A and B are shown apart, each in its own frame.
Chain A
């Protein structure tokens, strides 16, 4: 390998490359394009993935929502079409029966009311909640605090409102904390303002009030509208979902096969669909990128083959002057490797630059389409090394062609 460190070898390569500027640049563009596409596609796919992750962002993705409907099968003397509601007893039973599987369980009640502050008003959702809901979907608080256990125990008339509600109901520069707003003609003290931080949001603009307060004010007793269950890590969430539903059916005298009595929405499986889609995109990216790379390498091989044909006479002269087949072969392979290396590096730099531009233009802000489009350095290194190896292998073809030509035939070319 000592020829690699011989300045003469490089002098020769520099000479032949400098002479053939056009073909050299075309060759370089071929491979550059391949690795450029690979980098940009991988980066874009990553950006898309990051975008999705940001979308689901602060939501515990292994969550199930459960609500009730009306039965579709008569059971235990009840007719079909019976309506019923979840209650606090269900919550207690589920908590004790699924102690291992359930991480958080939040019963919720919800309604919609006119909310008034001074002369401003608006219609918003009102949700009776336990503080645990903050664990399931993290609320980003701009001012104050979220509901706590004391609020539940005391059934305090306090509320946490959204940023938009704050803007609609309050004058500019008025500190909302400690102010009172009227929900359904009852005064509530504002204790916090949150910003809906992710785009996928099950609550929208909601005024959160303590669950116990809600029960009293709206006279719902121990009824529950719906619940959110977050599973522990490692729990099969689909299995848990069907088990929980079966338990609830037992508690409410619903036929086990009843399909309409309970509704549920499994966030985990929905997200799995997105993730599958992302995997598909990534596979496509790799496929297209690598195929383009290979095409680029073949372009190098092709151009080198033409070059060898073009330079038959030169090769003949060199051989008449004492060049061994080995030295000719070395030179051509080295040229191939050198070109692929330069092209690869330029492609990576250009790709990174384009990703930088994408990031600057589409990667920032809350509505970013491609968040942080990046490519792993090890992946790029692997692609780069593969490129060089392919460059060497493809260089073998023209190199072999150059040496099987007999010097006399090479010299005869005019």
Chain B
């Protein structure tokens, strides 16, 4: 599903360049539940952004769904994001003036689905994350956990190949964290590839594979007990 070979990325910082990713090799198969661990500055967010086509890499090769990602223009990237990727962010990133239902329906709008149809589909996914009753509430009327579940519903609504979650529990307390993680696990059990970035051990342990990053390099790549349990 995701294949990365010798990936490099650096950001210009004045005269010098900050070399963030120094040659990453990673292969994630369909249906995997992978977490990327690392302290801040290890390059994990950069990696996610590149995988999520939100940023471009400098060197190396990146295949998404066996398609080489190279010289992407914004239009192509937007279409691929819409088709293959679902995003879950630490700060939820819901649009504040849209209701939960409209937020979930937004990716379908960019897919070109009719309003009536996409509201039905969006409602289905809201129901799936247990928030059907909150469909017509604005984000600021929801709790953190609820917001994140809306965001997950939004990530799933286009039936993507991969769900990318950047610190999905970073802004949540432990109880709601657990429920969000449970939701991600359920999604994974349905066959979805889930790619989580975190710096919390407890979160990482609930995934099936932990990739540890340090200073732009992979230092370990292990399957967890959870994966053996399945």
Listed in ascending order, the chain A residues whose CB lies under 8 Å from chain B are 7-8, 11-12, 15-16, 18-19, 313-314, 316-327, 403, 406-408, 411, 414
A-contacting residues, B174-193, CB 8 Å: none
Closest to B111 in A: A322
A370 to chain B, nearest CB (A): 46
In the complex, A142 Cα to B74 Cα: how many Å?
82
In the complex, A317 Cα to B93 Cα: how many Å?
7
In the complex, A80 Cα to B55 Cα: how many Å?
101
Cβ of B87 within 8 Å of any chain A Cβ, yes or no, is yes
In-complex Cβ contact of B87 among A313, A320, A406 (8 A): A320
In the complex, A317 Cα to B111 Cα: how many Å?
15
Residues of B within 8 A of A414 (CB): 91
In the complex, A7 Cα to B113 Cα: how many Å?
12
Q: List 30 A-B contacts (CB under 8 A).
A: A15-B98, A15-B102, A16-B97, A19-B96, A316-B93, A317-B93, A317-B94, A317-B95, A318-B95, A318-B106, A319-B74, A319-B78, A320-B54, A320-B93, A321-B82, A321-B110, A321-B154, A322-B107, A322-B110, A322-B111, A323-B78, A324-B75, A325-B74, A325-B78, A326-B75, A403-B74, A407-B54, A411-B54, A411-B93, A414-B91
Cβ of B62 within 8 Å of any chain A Cβ, yes or no, is no
B11 to chain A, nearest CB (A): 11
A-contacting residues, B71-92, CB 8 Å: 74-75, 78-79, 81-83, 87, 89, 91
Residues of B within 8 A of A18 (CB): 97
In the complex, A316 Cα to B106 Cα: how many Å?
13
Do the beta carbons of B89 and A321 come within 8 Å of each other? no
Residues of B within 8 A of A19 (CB): 96-97
In the complex, A318 Cα to B102 Cα: how many Å?
12
Do the beta carbons of B115 and A320 come within 8 Å of each other? no
In the complex, A211 Cα to B156 Cα: how many Å?
104
In the complex, A18 Cα to B97 Cα: how many Å?
9
Per-residue CB contact flags for chain B residues 89-127 toward chain A (1 = under 8 Å, else 0) read 101011111100010001101110001000000000000
A-contacting residues, B105-155, CB 8 Å: 106-107, 109-111, 115, 154
Closest to B46 in A: A408
Q: Chain A CB within 10 Å — which of B54, B94, B97 has the most?
A: B54
Known: A321-B87, A324-B75. A314 touches B54 (CB 8 A): no
In the complex, A7 Cα to B49 Cα: how many Å?
33
Residues of A within 8 A of B81 (CB): 319-322
Q: Chain A CB within 10 Å — which of B91, B110, B154 has the most?
A: B110
A331 to chain B, nearest CB (A): 11
Interface SS, A side? helix
In the complex, A411 Cα to B55 Cα: how many Å?
11
Residues of A within 8 A of B98 (CB): 15
Do the beta carbons of A406 and B54 come within 8 Å of each other? yes
Closest to A321 in B: B107
A363 to chain B, nearest CB (A): 47
Residues of A within 8 A of B111 (CB): 322
Do the beta carbons of B55 and A408 come within 8 Å of each other? yes
A342 to chain B, nearest CB (A): 19
Closest to B50 in A: A408
Closest to A404 in B: B74
Cβ of B216 within 8 Å of any chain A Cβ, yes or no, is no
In the complex, A322 Cα to B85 Cα: how many Å?
9
In the complex, A262 Cα to B70 Cα: how many Å?
95
Do the beta carbons of A7 and B97 come within 8 Å of each other? no
Do the beta carbons of B115 and A8 come within 8 Å of each other? yes
Q: Chain B CB within 10 Å — which of A316, A320, A406 has the most?
A: A320
Known: A8-B115, A406-B54, A411-B89. A324 touches B74 (CB 8 A): yes
Cβ of B206 within 8 Å of any chain A Cβ, yes or no, is no
In the complex, A186 Cα to B44 Cα: how many Å?
119
Cβ of B52 within 8 Å of any chain A Cβ, yes or no, is yes
Cβ of B207 within 8 Å of any chain A Cβ, yes or no, is no
In the complex, A324 Cα to B106 Cα: how many Å?
13
Closest to A311 in B: B95
In-complex Cβ contact of A322 among B82, B94, B97 (8 A): B82
B131 to chain A, nearest CB (A): 18
A338 to chain B, nearest CB (A): 17
Closest to A314 in B: B95
Q: Which 3 A-B pairs have the closest CB atoms?
A: A322-B82, A19-B97, A322-B110
B159 to chain A, nearest CB (A): 13
Residues of B within 8 A of A406 (CB): 54-55
In the complex, A11 Cα to B83 Cα: how many Å?
23
Do the beta carbons of A15 and B54 come within 8 Å of each other? no
In the complex, A326 Cα to B74 Cα: how many Å?
9
Closest to A17 in B: B97
Do the beta carbons of A313 and B93 come within 8 Å of each other? yes
For the complex with contacts A321-B82, A411-B54, 20 further pairs of A-B residues with Cβ separation under 8 Å are A15-B102, A313-B93, A316-B93, A317-B94, A318-B110, A319-B74, A319-B78, A320-B81, A321-B110, A322-B83, A322-B158, A324-B78, A324-B110, A325-B75, A326-B75, A327-B110, A406-B54, A408-B49, A408-B55, A414-B91
In the complex, A320 Cα to B75 Cα: how many Å?
12
B190 to chain A, nearest CB (A): 21
B86 to chain A, nearest CB (A): 9
